[in-house]
Amino acid sequence: MSRIAYVNGQYLPHGQAVVHVEDRGFQFADGVYEVWSVFDGRLADFDGHLTRLWRSLDELRIDHPMTRQALEMVLKETVRRNRIVEGLVYIQVTRGTARRDHPFPAEGTPPSVVITAKSLPLSKGNALAAKGVAVITQPDIRWGRCDIKTVGLLPNVLAKQAAKERGAAEAWMVDDMGLVTEGSSTNAWIVDEEGKLRTRDAQSNILRGITRAAVMALIAEEGLELEERAFSVDEAKRAREAFYTSATGFVMPAVSIDGVKIGNGKPGPIATRLRALYLEAAERDAI
Ligand code: PMP
């Protein structure tokens, strides 16, 4: 019997069960999931898992895709169509399909729903449990590898959405020491009180921006002083200039941070010059 998946209102054979390339689950990991075990074709801990699913959706402000009753029916129907006696049923709900952009899509964009089910005989687990299993230890790095350009961008999405809701273009993320790491999709820079260019040193906690590296080369060519050293939010608010870099924004002067005016509240001369230099070099060297 071929396996059947529920995808956005349809029960489809696995070979045809697909979501759009612009689905936010695929693009940003902007979604949640839940799993129920199935005993004798019935779902275990039904309320517990459903309540957690609802909570996960609410925390991320993703619309409920359907009512509790409707979802219960669809989950059971997926189990039934796959003739699962012992096994599990999996649901994933994402923020839907929209042109790729970090902030939430337009209100009313329907969430995507995918439900799959698979058999997992209880006897297998029981055999394992009779012998016991081995475990190992691993550092908990969830998710401390911001140097990897992964699609696991949910925290970045939430930061960008917060910026949008406060009338800002970008959110600078701050570590537990009060130091700026980077923007939600950009690298953060200041010209500090002494007039020195500063951007955070690239460890595992920031993405090594390609634009960041190109701007560093321009800074060296210009004979300007640069320190790759973290700066605090307070230092940023007292800075002469602030700006951010990325492949889509190039060099973007920031004129306020959390409502505090930076310098005279206008794009600074260094950021403005670096933007012009970057655009000139990028256009010239583009292949
Ligand atoms: N930091 C993050 C988290 C980003 O997503 C990006 C851009 N994708 C950047 C920095 C800037 O990198 P780049 O200059 O290579 O675009």
Ligand 1 atom closest to 212 (CA): 14
What integer is the mean pLDDT of 263-268?
Answer: 98
DSSP 232: B
Residue among 275, 139, 282, 145 at smallest CA distance from 202 = 145
Tell me how far the alpha carbon of residue 168 is from its chain's centroid: 18
Ligand 1 — pocket residues by CB below 6 A?
A: 156, 182, 185-187, 207, 209-212, 245-247
Ligand 1 binding pocket mutation candidate from 27, 157, 175, 207 (most atoms within 8 A of CB):
207
CATH says 125-285 is which class?
Answer: alpha beta
| pLDDT tens by residue, 12-22 | 999 999 999 99
| pLDDT tens by residue, 165-202 | 999 999 999 999 999 999 999 999 999 999 999 999 99
Q: Could you tell me the CA-to-CA distances from 115 to 4, 92, 160, 187, 211 in Å, in that order?
A: 9, 6, 29, 38, 40
Give the Å distance between the CA of 126 and the centre of ligand 1: 47
| pLDDT tens by residue, 65-89 | 999 999 999 999 999 999 999 999 9
CATH says 4-120 is which class?
Answer: alpha beta
Give the Å distance between the CA of 180 and the centre of ligand 1: 15
Give the Å distance between the CA of 186 and the centre of ligand 1: 5
DSSP 204: T
Task: List the domain boundaries for the chain.
Answer: 4-120, 125-285
Q: Could you tell me the CA-to-CA distances from 254 to 61, 96, 118, 147, 207 in Å, in that order?
A: 28, 31, 51, 24, 20
Residues 232, 178: contact at Cβ < 8 Å?
yes
pTM of the shown model: 0.95
